[in-house]
Structure 1
Amino acid sequence: MTQTSVPQQQPTAPATVRGTRGGETQSFKERIALSFVIGVPFAALVIAVPVVWGWGMTWTDLIIAVVMYAISGHGVTVGFHRLFTHSSFKAKKALRVGLAIAGSLAVQGPVIRWVADHRKHHRYSDHDGDPHSPWRYGETLPALMKGLWHAHIGWLYNAEQTNQQQYAPDLLKDRAIVRVSRAFPYLVLVSLLLPAAVGGLVTWSWQGILTAFFWGSLVRIALLHHTTWSINSICHAVGERPFRSRDRSGNVWWLAVLSMGESWHNLHHSDPTAARHGVLRGQIDSSARIIWLFEKFGWVRDVRWPSRERVALKLRGEAAP
């Protein structure tokens, strides 16, 4: 089966809009902004250990961080990934927009750019053309170490950006999603300032504002960044591979909770449009559970749940029906 439904020929697209460009190169200002967005939260993540050891963490900060992680993380996994990239289900317009906004709060780039990059990854997964394969430089240990760095962070600095008109023409025609993609810089500010505002309102103190910003904004963003990027790097280098796929995607169990089910990566690359990735006994997949709840409430339809028969065929390495 095809890995994703991307047209082979570049279609006629509407006029280029800010935040939805295709075929351009990354500017120096964009690289500076990217370094800031990656570096500052990561520094907070590193500092978090001695901060917890020396001063502790309040329940308010923990709740704010966990809630923001769940909202922005599932915005990526349920929205950016399973809905917009792979069309694993169909959602009502309000939910589509809500998921696009929630995913943008993860600060991983505008929704249309994210989708274009990921569709290109599936087309060339672990082969020439893959934006972030850890096997890019070869299979020796030094080559793999270099490849893991590239797959984790280095690829974000690729000078040539994925052509969005080629890989995400459907989203470029969706005015509501284009608006969300354009609004990404403002949504970054919301993602940074909202936890601080909540912390200030709950504690009515400057300390509450600062600690909520540290934990709920910076540490939360960094942890989600590196969890998501670990799917690109770690899950294509190690892990169990019980399912047939044309690449080296693997299942990494210890990332399952933090990645909200995305680290059951072998099944995903074996059956990309499946709405559930954790299909075997004991495989936690909170993203699939949320899609299930949406379906029960009538907010989504045509969910592509993997049947037992389909899973069994892929486990045996036979062709799926």
Structure 2
Amino acid sequence: MATAFSDIQPDEYTPSEQHPQHGVIIGGPAARAKRIEYGILLSSMVLGSLGALYWTIFHATGWVEWSAFLFGFALINMGVGIGYHRYFTHRAFEAGPKMRLAIGIMAQMACQASVLKWAADHRRHHAFADASAMCTAPMSTVTARICQNGKGSVSPISAGCSTTRHRT
């Protein structure tokens, strides 16, 4: 997966439209690579969920499987909520090196991104969160138009935009 857009977005590429918020990518190779990355991640989550559902239906499950599932679910969600969001992004509390390592490992188990990338993306999100029709991901030109003017037949939520104020 691409981690630096400069690696895949040629210097001579100029989008047909400029987004009013710096850093939002509209179209081009970088946006296409991000759509492919998101497609692979979504497909793996769907296939994993279907595999787990199949296993649950056709195999006996006991307290070990269910407790492991609940423990993993709680651990990963605490890693994202406490680790990625509260500690690494907002620095809402202080932690020693061992606790930072434990929180980072719990967060990484979610397979959402590296700690640095997640925190940087979320800080960028908060930089523009109070603006109306804030868009949160690289998009196509159509999605960008929906986000910019807040009009269209597609719901802004399903288009990857947020028209509500976000305070956390």
Q: What's 2:48 paired with? A: 44
Please point out which of 75, 79, 83 is paired with 1:75: 79
Residues 259-313 of structure 1, C-alpha deviation per residue, up to 9 Å, x if partnerless? xxxxxxxxxx0xx3xxxxxxxxxxxxxxxxxxxxxxxxxxxxxxxxxxxxxxxxx
Q: What's 2:39 paired with? A: 35
Q: TM-score, normalised by structure 1?
A: 0.36
Q: What's 2:96 paired with? A: 92
* Cα offset, 1:118, TM superposition: 0.6
* Number of matched pairs: 138
* Cα offset, 1:39, TM superposition: 0.8
Q: SS state of the match for residue 100, structure 2?
A: helix
Q: SS state of the match for residue 158, structure 2?
A: helix
Please point out which of 148, 157, 162 is paired with 2:157: 148
**Structure 2 counterpart of 1:149, one-letter code:** S
Q: TM-score, normalised by structure 2?
A: 0.62
* Cα offset, 1:43, TM superposition: 2.1
CA contact (8 A) 1:104 1:111 kept: yes
CA contact (8 A) 2:134 2:147 kept: no
* Residues 87 and 43 of structure 1: CA distance in aligned 2, closer, same or farther (over 3 Å): same
- Unmatched tracts of structure 2, length 5 or more: 10-29, 138-142
Please point out which of 145, 165, 168 is paired with 1:248: 165
Distance in 1 (CA, whole Å) between partners of 2:5 and 2:152 is 35
Distance in 1 (CA, whole Å) between partners of 2:33 and 2:124 is 25
CA contact (8 A) 2:84 2:118 kept: yes
Q: What's 2:121 paired with? A: 117
Distance in 2 (CA, whole Å) between partners of 1:70 and 1:27 is 33
